[in-house]
Amino acid sequence: MRLIALAATVSTLTLAAACGANGQDAPAAPGAPLETRPANAPNQTPAFAGQTRAPAVRTEAAMAHTVVASGLEHPWGLAMLPDGRWLVTEKPGRLRIITAEGMVGEPVAGLPAVDARGQGGLLDVVIGPTFDQDRMIYWSYSEARTGGNATSVARGRLSDDGSRVENVQVIFRALPVYDGDKHFGSSLAFAPDGHLFITLGERSDAPMRPQAQDLGSHMGKTIRINADGTVPQDNPYVGQDGALPEIWSLGHRNVQGIAVAANGDVWTVEHGTRGGDEINLDQAGKNYGWPDAAYGIEYRGGPINAGNTAKAGTEQPVYYWDPVIAPGGMTLYQGAMFPGWNGNLLVAGLKEKHIARLVLENNRVVGEERLLTDLGERVRDVAVGSDGAVWAITDEQNGKLVRLATAN
């Protein structure tokens, strides 16, 4: 192991605000939205109040971030081991273990090869729900296949010394194969009942977009499987002719963040085009609209398909951003360090280089705050440590592992 960086950067940010009821949140200006930039689609109307441009909130506590480790090549996924160390993926295909003190291990051996072109590579990583007994970890990656590539998920036993993964099994392969380099998804999360959720993009290119609506394709879907790769018999499309049984929901563009609440609620976040990044409460058998209903406009300008923001039989996002933040990973906060954040969503922002904290009430967003703005780097994934500190990785050539905590 080598010490990459410890406390290389420390920045303290004091966010003074009028005292809130819990001493944690207080509006920057009552009712004023956090987002003030012009929308890409100013004529689009939200489906309900608070669906976009939530009021700004500010954390009263002083916070500081510490760069714990650097020198990581485009890290993508972040998962905490029970002993407080972190599993971190790097897109070119390396998995590393990093201690809370910043010691970066050599690449873990035994992972299958990845197709690291474009947005592909080694993507997310999670530990299994029975890691304490079997040391199983799970990871997603873009896999080269005959005719192109697609997202796959594998699992294996992390050796006792952490140097390798053993008995590797590929438990899911998305279909169809496509020769492209975009929109692989792919975030992973275990539900409290032990089922594994996998998020997938629709591969971006115009010929592939309609597959987000095709139940015979995994593209643009949220997937739900058992930990061994078999299909839960209560999945919504089991037994339906022409439908792939692994599918949980459809109509997604490119989901790169997922968080499952203790009550089983599944939250996902996906990339829009120019406008239209979405937070969804992702439910079994529901259709989330892409590409037939979406907020925002095409990258080249002009409407997306017919320009509809709603369509019968499709769900509205709980929240959307226009302009976009380009969301990466996401987690639900639960911890002692910031008690006023409990139950909030923390969303990594790539384009806008921050963590978006979304305050939820009755499954609606009622406040938004931008965290880690002074770091100035693309935030790829976010997680919560055992003490309640927030950890993040940055998607840069010199990527970093960062800890955000209350300032001493």
Tens of pLDDT, residue by residue over 102-140, are 999 999 999 999 999 999 999 999 999 999 999 999 999
How far is CA 173 from each of CA 116, 126, 155, 165, 300, rounded to the nearest angstrom? 17, 17, 12, 19, 32
Judged against a pLDDT cut of 80, whether residue 26 lies above it is answered with: no
Q: What is the pLDDT of residue 7?
A: 37
Distance (Å, whole) CA 112 – CA 168: 8
Instruction: Tell me the CB-side half-sphere exposure of residue 355, using CA atoms within 13 A.
Output: 27
CATH 3.40.50.300 for the 2-406 domain, yes or no: no
The two structure tokens encoding residue 350: 């790539």
User: How far, in Å, CA of 377 to CA of 369, rounded?
Assistant: 17
Taking only the tens place, the pLDDT of each residue in 73-86 is 999 999 999 999 99
The pLDDT, as a whole number, for residue 29 is 54
Domain boundaries, the chain: 2-406
- Which residues have a catalytic role annotated? 183
pTM of this prediction? Answer: 0.94
Select from 217, 128, 234 the least CA-distant residue to 173.
217
**Spatial CB neighbours of 307, under 8 Å, sequence gap ≥ 6:** none
Render pLDDT for 155-213 as a digit per residue (tens, 0 to 9): 999 999 999 999 999 999 999 999 999 999 999 999 999 999 999 999 999 999 999 99
pLDDT for position 5: 38
Longest dimension (CA), the chain: 60
pLDDT for position 21: 29
Q: How far apart are the C-alpha atoms of 389 and 371, rounded to whole Å?
A: 13
What SS3 state is found at 131? helix
Cα-Cα-Cα-Cα torsion 338, 343, 344, 348, nearest 10 degrees, comes to 90
Burial class of residue 154 in the structure, from the number of CB atoms within 10 Å of its CB (0-12 exposed, 13-18 middle, 19+ buried): buried
Q: Which of 147, 62, 69, 58 is nearest to 103 (CA)?
A: 69
Closest CA to 122 of 166, 68, 188: 188
